[in-house]
Amino acid sequence: MHIDYWQEIKHDSFGRAGLVLISLIVVLAILAPLLTSYQPHEYTGSAFSPPSGQHLLGTNDVGQDIWTQLLFGARTSLIVGCGAAVLALLISVLVGCTAALFGGVYDRLIMRLVDAMIVIPPVIVVILVAAYLRPNMLLMILLLAAFLWPGGARVIRAQTLSLKERMHVSAARTFGAGWPHLLVHHIIPDLGPVLAATLIADARRAIFMEAGLSFLGISDPSVISWGKMMQHALRFSYLDVWKWWLLPPGFALSLLISTLAFLGFSLEKALNPRLRKGVGHAGH
Binding site for another protein (CB under 8 A): 14, 112-113, 115-117, 119-125, 127-129, 131-132, 208, 211-212, 215-218, 230, 234, 237, 242, 246, 250, 253-262, 265, 272, 274-275, 279-284
Angle in degrees, 0-180, between the axes of helices 188-215 and 226-234, rounded to the nearest 10: 20
Rounded least distance, CB 72 to another protein, Å: 19
What's the min distance (Å) between Cβ of 120 and another protein?
Answer: 5
Determine the residue type at 72.
F
Q: How far is CA 91 from CA 46, 60, 167, 203, 241, in A?
A: 48, 41, 27, 14, 43
Smallest gap from Cβ 100 to another protein, in A, equals: 18
**Residue closer to another protein, measured from CB, 31 or 120:** 120
Contacts of 109 (CB under 8 A, 6+ apart): none
236 CB-near residues (< 8 Å, 6+ apart): 61, 242, 245
| 3-state SS assignment for residue 267 | helix
Closer to another protein by Cβ: residue 2 or 281 = 281
Task: Give the nearer residue to another protein in terms of CB position, either 104 or 280.
Answer: 280
**Toward another protein, which CB reaches closer, 130 or 183?**
130
Return the ∠ at Cα 200 (arms to 152 and 89), rounded to 5°.
40
Residue 71 or 143 with smaller CB distance to another protein: 143
Between 178 and 283, whose beta carbon lies closer to another protein? 283
Please state, as a whole number, how many other Cβ atoms lie within 10 Å of the Cβ of residue 135.
22
- Shortest CB 61 distance to another protein, Å: 17
DSSP 9-48: HHHSHHHHHHHHHHHHHHHHHHTGGGS-SS-TT---SSTT
CB of 69 to another protein, least distance (A): 17
